[in-house]
Structures are given as C-alpha cells and as structure tokens.
Structure 1
Amino acid sequence: MEPLNAYFLAIGFIVIVMQQGIHTEECLFEKLEDKDSMFCRGNLKVIYPELGDVGCTYIPKCNLYRKRISKEWISPRVQYQQADGNKKYVLIMVDPDAPSRADPKYRFWRHWTIVDINGGDLKNGNLKGHVLSDYRRPTPPSQSGYHRYQFLLYEQPADQAITLSPEESASTGSWKVEKFVERFQLGTPVASTQFVTKDYRD
C-alpha cells in the first residue's frame, strides 16, 4: 500500500510542476522593442493590480489579464518619483491606434486627463488633481490588432488654468493632443510610457 501512495504522490508532484511550468511560460511579460520602447522614458510607472508596473510591456493573455484590464480594473496608480513637490503636473492617457494601428483615423482616443496634480502626490502614486476626462479602460476592438496605450506627463505652467474646449469635451476620439499641448504651453513631456494590448477574445 505504501509504494502505491508514494507512486500517486510522485505523479501529483510531477503534474503540479508541469502546470507551474506551463503557467510561467504563458505569463511571460514581453518587453516592447525598437521604436515602441523608445517612447518609454523618465521612469514613469503605471501600476495595475497583480501586474505591477506595465510600462513598456505587452499585457499577457494569461490569468485573464487582458480581460481584467478592459473590464474590471479601475484606473492604475501612476507614480513619478522624480516629481518636484513644488510643482503641478498634467497626465494624459491616449490610444494612438484607434480604430487600428494600420488605420488610425481616430487618433488620438482620449482615455484619461488629469491636471493640477501635486508633485508630492505624484511621487507617491496618488493622483489627486482635477479630472478633465474620466478614466476609460483600454478596450481595443476585436480583430483590430495590438493597441498602444500611452501616458504623457507634463509639468504644468504656474497659475495656468487648463480645461477642455466644448468640442474636446463632446468627443473622446480624434483628439488633437498636439494642439492641446500647444494651447497651454505644456512643452515636452517630462516622462512618458506605454503598454500594448489587444482584445481579450482575439
């Protein structure tokens, strides 16, 4: 009887090891390369539950991560440890690949816009600024391929009141980010990052 128990224990251990091996292989976090990786600079962190910092990575399909980022999770924590506590910041999240990277006729799709972010809060990943556009989860259309979700962080000019125009507020698609940046003299982003994902059913 004892050899039989030992046999089943050994088989069970092998199955567990195999399952763990498969799980690890499926859950590899692939880093972005080439031009996509060059977009990530300044060590801006975008942190989702379970995934941690997703900056400069593909969201893996395992553990329903693509579905959860599109259907369940609320806005991520965004952290910039180099933030100046005496300054305010502007955070923009956009999808430049709407409706697809091959035909981005609706770029940029606005997913989140926050202004008046205190630098001290930003260092801690606690965004308490004024929300111009509520957070919209990444929901790339089925069969549209991979989409980039970009985060741009700007220093906000002192005493600058930043708002969306009525036209901008009316639609989140085809947003002219460059004109918005120019209108409020935001300059070059102090940091930027992005992650890439696609429809969880694909």
Structure 2
Amino acid sequence: MGLAQVVLLLLSLLGTAGGAADAHWGAGHPRVCFFEPLGSQDAELCRGELEVVYPELGDVGCTYIPACRRYRWRLGREWSSPCVRYARAQQDKKYVLVMVDPDAPSRADPSQRFWRHWLVSDIRGTDLRAGRPRGHVLTEYARPAPPARSGYHRYQLRLYEQPAHEAVALSTAELLSRGAWSMERFVERFRLGSPVASTQFLTKHDGD
C-alpha cells in the first residue's frame, strides 16, 4: 500500500475523508475506503518496485481499485495516464512500457487477450526515475473501463529494458486492432527479454 493510500485510509477512519464505502456501516459510523491488496496468485506479477500513480489513489500497484468515492468510474472515464516511476532505472538506458488487459472481454473468456491499453518505447531512464514515462508513443493510453458484468479485469504494466540501437514499432497488422495482441511475439521480435519490473491492479465496471 502506498503512502497516499495509508493517509487516505487514516483520514477516513477519523471521519474527515468523504466517500461511500463498498458496504454501508450505518448512521454514526465512519465511511471507510479500503484498498484491498491482491491475493498471492495475482500478486506474483508485482516485481521490481514499479510505481503506478493515479490522482488521489497514489500507487495502485498490487491492489483492487475500490468503488468508494467513485474511484472506478473516475479511473475509467476521467483520469488520464498515470505517473509511472521506476527508481532503479539506469540513466543511460532506454525502456519500453507496456500496459495490457489479459481479461478482455472477461477473465472467464479472454478471447481478446492481450488488449493493448498503452505502449511507449524509447523512455529515458532519467524520465522513469522522475515518474514521467515520455518517449515514442506507439499506442495512446486508453482508460481501464471493463464492460458491465464482466467481473474484475487485471491491468498489467510491464517495463522492459530496450536493447541499444533497437527501433521498436508495431506492424501494420498490429496497428489495426488493440485486441488479441500477441504481446509475447512482440517481446520476442524486439529481444526485450523479461521485464525489469512489473505490476498490476484490478478493477471492474463501476456499476457492478
């Protein structure tokens, strides 16, 4: 849990932070906004201290996005791309950031795995250390907005070290659709290897 999440939870417990909780506690009780950590299986992807920071939420890595304060709605319809920070990035290297949904259209039937939400190459290590993943945007950021009644979706962010002098690009066929993207083939094609850091958060349709 990030520092901002801890502060928000403490303020909620003191009754100074607004917003409805997932469950109503009744009159006179504080409304608490819990940031539940992922279970052990989903948490396995959280490696390398990659920070993904949205407004008010702080670092969402390895957590469920709560329904309170309309966070799921705002994540899917209001907020733009997050600040992504990797404190261990090397200043003289470049990186590739991938954000995908492996549960499209649902975790039970992921026929559109991997749905590409964001893809940026040529990110300088200095920018990553500052939380600014600026570089060559191959796929513009698309907000996490799972379909209604499709359950929780995992939104995975993987950071790769970009080989020196390697130009990373999508093929014409890949540009035609974000869905059913072969992320593994892309990684192999550009010799990206294993991620140097990765994380994920889970959210679902705000009306579910």
TM-score by length of 2: 0.87
The runs of at least 4 aligned residues of structure 1 exceeding 3 Å deviation read 16-22
1:64 counterpart SS class: helix
Residue 134 of structure 1 corresponds to: 140
The 3-state SS of whatever aligns with 2:174 is helix
Q: Secondary structure at the match of 1:110?
A: strand
* Residue identity in the other structure for 1:197: T
Matched, 1:86 2:89: no
Please give the secondary structure, in 2, of the residue aligned with 1:75: coil
Measured in 1, the distance between the counterparts of 2:126 and 2:39 equals 32
Structure 1 residues 83-104: Cα deviation after superposition (integer angstroms, max 9, x where no partner): 0000000000000000000110
2:114 maps to what in 1?
A: 108
Structure with greater proportional helix content:
1
Tell me which amino acid in the other structure corresponds to 2:180: S
| Structure 2, gaps ≥5 residues long | 1-14, 17-25
Instruction: State the alpha-carbon separation in 1 of the partners of residues 31 and 59 from structure 2.
Output: 20
Give the superposition deviation at 1:35. Answer: 1.2
- State the percentage of identical aligned residues: 59
Structure 1, unpaired ranges of 5+: 1-15
Deviations 1:70-120 (A, max 9, x none): 000000000000000000000000000000001101100000000000001
Cα distance in 1 for partners of 2:158, 2:28 equals: 37
RMSD: 1.4
Name the structure 2 match of 1:163.
169
Amino acid at match of 1:145: G
Alignment partner, residue 81 of structure 2: 75
**For residue 63 of structure 1, what is the aligned residue in structure 2?**
69
Aligned length: 185
Check 1:170–1:30 CA distance in 2 against 1; reply closer, same or farther (3 A cut).
Answer: same
Aligned to 1:151: 157
1:66, 1:20 → 2: CA distance? 26
Deviation track 1:151-183 (CA, whole Å, cap 9, x = no partner) reads 000000000000000010000000000000000
Task: Sort the Cα spacing of 1:29 and 1:134 in 2 relative to 1 into closer, same or farther, 3 A.
Answer: same
| Pairing of 1:191-202 with structure 2 (within 5 A) | 191-202=197-208
- Residue of structure 1 equivalent to 2:19: none
d(CA) in 2 for partners of 1:142 and 1:51? 23
- Closer, same or farther: CA 187–21 of 1 in aligned 2, 3 Å: farther
Give the aligned partner of residue 176 of structure 1: 182
Structure 2 SS opposite 1:115: strand
- Give 2:7's aligned residue: none
Higher gyration radius (CA): 1
Q: TM-score, normalised by structure 1?
A: 0.89
1:22 aligns with 2:30: yes
CA distance in 1: counterparts of 2:110 and 2:30, whole angstroms: 36
**Residue by residue, what CA displacement relative to the aligned partner does 1:27-68 show, whole Å, maximum 9, x if unpaired?**
100000121001100000000000000000000000000000
